[in-house]
Amino acid sequence: MKSYYKLIKNLRESYITTLAKLFDYSTSIFSKNRYTSMVDSDYGYTFGEFRKKCIEISSMLTRYGIGAGDKVAILSQNHPNWSVATFSLMAFGRVSVPLLQDLSENEVTNIINHSGCKAIFVSKRLLPKLTQEIIDKLTLVIDIETFEFIKRDDNAFTGTAVIREPLPDDLATIIYTSGTTGSAKGVMLSHRNLVSNMISCSHAHKTTEKDRWLSILPMAHAYEFTMGVLLPMYTGSCVYYNSKPPTPSILIKAMKSVRPTVMLSVPMIIEKIYKNSVVPTINGSRILSWLKKRFPSILYWLVGMKVKKTFGGKIKFFGIGGAKLNPDVEVFLKKAKFPYAIGYGLTETSPLICNANTKQTHIGSTGYAAYNVDLKLININPETGEGEIVAKGDNVMIGYYKDPQRTREVFTDDGYFRTNDLATVDKKGRYYIKGRLKNVIIGPSGENIYPEEIEKVINDIDGVNESIVLKRDGRLIALVQFNDNVIDWNQDGEDKFFESIEEKKKLVMDYVNKKVSKFSKINSVEVMKDPFEKTATQKIRRYKYEKQENNGEAIDSEKKNDKTKEDKEKDSK
């Protein structure tokens, strides 16, 4: 029996070489299965209905001269029609340009112009991000929730566009990313890239048509698209979407309703649950605190059961990717027997290149090389064993759109993609990421200082929400954002307010500098009022803060105190 299933699996993997073949296979084999649904309504599609709708929308695009090779943007919150729009493009030889919903109007304009899109699917909620100039340029502007025209150029209604079945190496999508280091890059991914990585994901975790997926990450991001759109299609399972942003209350309600077996997340979500719910619950209970000291295994079992129940009680796979997971949180998940898994990758690699499933997780490790992905370290430091991770495989991008120079820079002479991530690898082949190569700070004696490691210490402080550590004028500076209830910002201008700020800064300095090496001690702390600007996977955009003295948001209490004194003197006069 096992050999029979293995044969079927191999035949399926051999047949599906493009997203068009994936579309044809899944909508035929699983035609009666539910593919997409809203959490709070019955809106969605069976695979059979999905097929019909995609063909209908593709025909509509053809009538307006949008055919194979043409680029079409998608700007929308998560919705069943997001998948319809995508496959009405890629399954018929067109190129999708997915846009993250938190992009600014200027970024949306630049991407549409740079990519040369002819049309756009857009939700009414995000329509204001399209300038009138952009709308005038486009042949079609389509409401993604109804597929009705918001704008159409009737002069383009010729019906002469040609569609064709794409080849494996044809361009399927251009995903624009600014990452955490600067200007946007248009990552060109082929059908082969996406399909090969989807198959790698299927080997990382076995899913079936009985699984229920709850989508909480942006579908426009490679992580959610490959694992949360393509993989459920490949296995014939259903994905549920929220109509509202996944705030904690909305998310808890959705998990209770859907009772998902599979979820994909970024570390921030589970870290906040641990820090804001688990830790205070244990510390605030005499019984749980006693159990932690005397019978920790019982405590972790009890809390683990509670967390699983919060997630709907049926969760089998909670995938975590996009950034490094806090080790303390991972220790808790491990002891609580919560079914978490780790994944690592980049948009440029479609994205998965490293993974550890629920039975392979190892504290601090991002896992093993993904199926059919060739990984290794280069430029290894003989003293530390650290080197840059490089990857080769069918999942690695074609290149950056209209940017051959930047494309050349990210490939080695022997064709490996440079991830810009430093890591070590153990004897069992598990990788341990140390930090971004571009983030490494060189100390006064040439030692490598990893800001991520210092930030981990800072973020463990009670009341701290997030932080980043930067080097300015040869000194290590920590930018710290506290939880909302820690600082009363309404007291701005009061002596008590600035005294509180100074106390918080001193607390961070004293705590951190006792925990880190002498090379990693921070020289000053700046308190940030507003949350840090982040990417789609909730990584802080460091470059936004590196070149600014205090970003116009940090509170310099000494200067503010001086100003307060001057104001008082003026008032007394």
pLDDT tens, position by position, 374-418: 999 999 999 899 999 999 999 999 999 999 999 999 999 999 999
* pLDDT of 10: 87
Gap between the Cα atoms of 291 and 360, Å rounded: 28
pLDDT over 60 (residue 558)? no
Q: What is the CATH number of domain 262-313+315-436?
A: 3.40.50.12780
- Give per-residue pLDDT as tens, 212-231: 999 999 999 999 999 999 99
Return the SS3 of 292. Answer: helix
Range with the lowest mean pLDDT among 57-71, 384-398, 447-461, 534-548?
534-548
Gap between the Cα atoms of 161 and 157, Å rounded: 10
Gap between the Cα atoms of 253 and 102, Å rounded: 24
* Residue of 186 and 452 predicted with greater confidence: 186
Range with the lowest mean pLDDT among 123-127, 139-143, 160-164, 421-425?
160-164
- Give per-residue pLDDT as tens, 508-520: 999 999 988 777 8
Gap between the Cα atoms of 191 and 172, Å rounded: 5
Across-strand partners of 119? 72, 140
- Residue 229: both structure tokens together: 């759109």
- Mutual angle of helices 47-63 and 80-90, in 10-degree steps: 60
Residue 406: CA count within 13 A, CB half-sphere: 15
- Give per-residue pLDDT as tens, 230-275: 999 999 999 999 988 778 888 999 999 999 999 999 998 898 889 8
Residue 24: CA count within 13 A, CB half-sphere: 12
Closest C-alpha among 61, 87, 78, 83 to residue 125: 78
31-203 adopts what CATH topology? Rossmann fold (3.40.50)
Contact 144/86 with Cβ under 8 angstroms?
no
* pLDDT of 181: 47
Strands 399-400 and 448-449: unpaired
∠ CA 463-464-465 to the nearest 5 degrees?
115
How far apart, in Å, do the first and last CA atoms of the chain sit?
Answer: 93
- Within the chain, which residue ranges are assigned CATH 3.30.300.30? 441-572
Instruction: Give the pLDDT mean for 439-443.
Output: 79
Q: What is the CATH number of domain 441-572?
A: 3.30.300.30
Strands 238-241 and 212-215: parallel
Gap between the Cα atoms of 53 and 62, Å rounded: 14
- Give per-residue pLDDT as tens, 442-484: 776 667 788 888 998 999 898 898 999 998 888 899 999 998 7
* Residue of 342 and 158 predicted with greater confidence: 342
Strands 368-369 and 352-356: antiparallel
pLDDT over 60 (residue 179)? no
Gap between the Cα atoms of 536 and 228, Å rounded: 15
Cis peptide leading into residue 248 (ω within 30°): no
* pLDDT of 178: 62
Reported confidence tier of residue 5, pLDDT bands at 50, 70, 90: low
Taking the CA atoms of residue 285, residue 288, residue 289 and residue 291 in that order, the dihedral angle to the nearest 10 degrees is 160
* pLDDT of 568: 40
Closest C-alpha among 15, 49, 54 to residue 32: 49
* pLDDT of 550: 42
Reported confidence tier of residue 503, pLDDT bands at 50, 70, 90: confident
Q: What's this model's pTM, rounded to 2 decimal places?
A: 0.84
- Residue 114: both structure tokens together: 């740079």
Gap between the Cα atoms of 300 and 335, Å rounded: 6
pLDDT over 70 (residue 346)? yes
- Within the chain, which residue ranges are assigned CATH 3.40.50.12780? 31-203, 262-313+315-436
Contact 325/366 with Cβ under 8 angstroms?
no
Running DSSP on this structure, what letter comes out for residue 393?
S
